[in-house]
Copies of this chain bind each other. A is one copy, B any other.
């Protein structure tokens, strides 16, 4: 380790790097036998509420793969659970809510988040993780974006079509905006607390924003996401903005104010980067490619690197999360391959 900042942070700032930094969304997760061993004994919220368990699963992929960044093990509904919203994460399903948001009264369950009181476990976990990581490997803070969190809250659980969400957004834009502003303020509070405790970058997950057309996104989602990035600007840490299927939205997501924009695999990285403008880009290998033989993985990774074309500011990642069936040895080999390319 030299005096220079870690290559992940340098790439986020579009500074020169000695090698392309790489980490994987869902690197702390089901592809790892050591993670599955913990999950056999502990539920998702149980892991989040126990700082030593959160730290352990967050650090597992760093130890195993040698990735350039850790990401806090969490879930987009963690701040809702922290303020007492009736939510459960059902195995094989996802977050399920006891009282979906359908009208004004349902907003009452969304009081302002006070991180020190409401989720000391997350703050303690961040402190423990960053102490162990030291200066070489930054921790990325984690929060769900207002649209994606709201989609679960309004539907009452996971959805493929977002019928109720879009009906509320378009039919009750006033109520929708109040809902998103509350979620934005809580995301700001959570991320600020994570950075205060030692996180050196943040990622806002708007995983399902790609379900929206650009005019709808611009009118009903972008303002709340922009509020978050503005609310973090003074911290000086790289802010990453991520979604899936966002080819048409990349320019708008960039306008929302992050420093690094995620590009999923559907858009070739060079084309996606042109839509982002003068910012760093994160991505964009198809996670399903990792199920193919190694020579295919290497070839497709090389294609991503070739499309980055040496532009400053490339953070190598998958276009979405690691698939559960992925062989973890392939992930380790891919880290080495990207570093040596």
Q: Taking beta carbons and an 8 Å cutoff, which residues of A are in contact with B?
A: 161-167, 170-171, 210-216, 245, 247-248, 265-268, 271, 286-289, 291-293, 296, 300, 303, 323, 325
Q: Report the separation of the CA atoms of residues A286 and B169 in the bound assembly, to the nearest whole angstrom.
A: 13
- Which residue of B is nearest A296, CB measured? B170
Whether A161 touches B266, Cβ cut-off 8 Å, given contacts A247-B248, A292-B167, A292-B171, is no
Q: Which of B164, B166, B248, B291 contacts A166 (CB 8 A)?
A: B291
Q: Report the separation of the CA atoms of residues A287 and B167 in the bound assembly, to the nearest whole angstrom.
A: 11
- Which residue of B is nearest A272, CB measured? B248
Q: Is the CB of B323 within 8 A of A161?
A: yes
Query: What are 26 A-B residue pairs whose CB atoms fall within 8 Å in the complex?
Result: A161-B288, A161-B323, A163-B287, A163-B325, A166-B288, A166-B289, A166-B291, A166-B292, A167-B289, A167-B291, A167-B292, A167-B293, A167-B296, A170-B292, A170-B300, A171-B292, A171-B293, A210-B266, A211-B266, A213-B267, A213-B268, A213-B286, A245-B245, A245-B266, A247-B266, A248-B271
- Which residue of B is nearest A285, CB measured? B213
- A170: chain B residues at CB < 8 Å are 289, 292, 296, 300
Q: Is the CB of B323 within 8 A of A268?
A: no
Known: A213-B268, A216-B286. 20 other contacts (CB 8 A): A161-B287, A163-B287, A163-B288, A163-B323, A165-B288, A166-B286, A166-B291, A166-B292, A167-B291, A167-B293, A170-B300, A171-B292, A210-B245, A210-B266, A213-B266, A213-B267, A214-B268, A245-B245, A248-B268, A248-B271
The complex is assembled from copies of this chain, and their number is 2
- Which residue of B is nearest A264, CB measured? B213
Q: Which of B163, B265, B292 contacts A291 (CB 8 A)?
A: B163
Q: Is the CB of B248 within 8 A of A212?
A: no
Q: Is the CB of B248 within 8 A of A266?
A: yes
Q: Is the CB of B265 within 8 A of A213?
A: yes
Closest 10 CB pairs of A and B: A167-B291, A166-B288, A163-B291, A167-B292, A171-B292, A170-B292, A170-B296, A163-B288, A171-B293, A247-B247
- Which residue of B is nearest A307, CB measured? B215
Q: Is the CB of B245 within 8 A of A162?
A: no
- A289: chain B residues at CB < 8 Å are 166-167, 170
Q: Is the CB of A268 within 8 A of B215?
A: yes
